[in-house]
Amino acid sequence: MTKYDEIFENNRRWIAAKTATDKEFFEKLANEQRPDYLYIGCSDSRVPTNEIMGLDAGEVFVHRNIANLVNNTDLNVMAVINYAVRHLQVKHIVVCGHYNCGGVKAAMQPADLGLLNPWLRNIRDVYRLHKEELNAIQDEHARYNRLVELNVQEQCVNVIKTAAVQQSYLQNQFPTVHGWVYDLRNGELKDLKIDFERVLHEIQEIYDLTGEGLMKK
Ligand SMILES: [Zn+2]
């Protein structure tokens, strides 16, 4: 476990390493950010966002919360999506869950978790939507793993429901939305290969916010 004071020593070493290979590393970043990616992931400390993607500072705009949820009444995540799409003009939005997610596991416990109840209720909603598929999985661990994947899928759908994403895609053909799952046991990133175009069209039957009605064709 790293001691508190070591953090600042680590920071000095990190600055030295960064400037050793690129003298203007910090000057360049201080001017502006132009990330192509918005990453929405779980707050879990075992998922080091930039590291698993091999991306450096300035390359990914990040939002994290318990169990990587995209809730339409959460001003925080909605502001992040809006800013990333309309101002940063990111090309890709990733929702990344992970196996062994404590949030997903907690959501399925028959227990009162206080403040976490309304937050984790979103995951129970995902379970309800996919109850038949999930209940058919005998092995409990496999069922949780599948719930992690389905949760990512449904949060991608929530991203696609936003006006910012629909309007930007209509005008610019970006961003596209991707669902990933990170495996804590071996470090692997799995692309769930969500068919963005198909989901977008399905969603817009009911959630069209483009004001154009063009995407239904
Ligand atoms: Zn998690």
Which pLDDT value is given to residue 213?
A: 64
Q: Are residues 48 and 77 in the same domain?
A: yes
Give me ligand 1 centre to Cα 102, in Å: 5
pLDDT at 211: 85
Is there a single domain that holds both residue 175 and residue 70? yes
Is 101 annotated as belonging to a binding site? yes
Same domain, 76 and 56: yes
Identify the pLDDT of residue 37.
Answer: 98
| pTM assigned to the model | 0.94
User: Are 180 and 86 found together in one domain?
Assistant: yes
| Ligand 1 midpoint to CA 182 (Å) | 10
Q: Is residue 4 one of the residues assigned to a domain?
A: yes
Identify whether 5 is part of a domain.
Answer: yes
For residue 186, the model assigns a pLDDT of 97
Whether residue 90 is found in the same domain as residue 104: yes
The pLDDT, as a whole number, for residue 214 is: 54
Residue 214 lies in a domain: no
Question: Catalytic positions, please?
Answer: 42, 44, 46, 98, 101
In a domain, 17, yes or no: yes
Number of domains into which the chain is organized:
2
Please indicate if the annotation marks 42 as binding a ligand: yes
- The answer to whether residues 45 and 140 belong to one domain is yes
Q: Is 141 annotated as contributing to ligand binding?
A: no
- Asked if residue 142 belongs to a domain, the reply is yes
Please write down the HEC assignment for all residues of the chain. CCCCCHHHHHHHHHHHHHHHHCCCHHHHHHHCCCCCEEEEEECCCCCCHHHHHCCCCCCEEEEEECCCCCCCCCHHHHHHHHHHHHCCCCCEEEEEEECCCHHHHHHCCCCCCCCHHHHHHHHHHHHHHCHHHHHCCCCHHHHHHHHHHHHHHHHHHHHHCCHHHHHHHHHHCCCEEEEEEECCCCCCEEECCCCHHHHHHHHHHHHCCCCCCHHHC
16 and 58, same domain (yes or no): no
Residue-level pLDDT, tens digit, the chain, 217 residues: 789 999 999 999 999 999 999 999 999 999 889 999 999 999 999 999 999 999 999 999 999 999 999 999 999 999 999 999 999 999 999 999 999 999 999 998 899 999 999 999 999 999 999 999 999 999 999 999 999 999 999 999 999 999 999 999 999 999 999 999 999 999 999 999 999 999 999 999 999 999 876 544 4
Owning domain of residue 22 = 1-31
- Do 129 and 71 lie in a common domain? yes
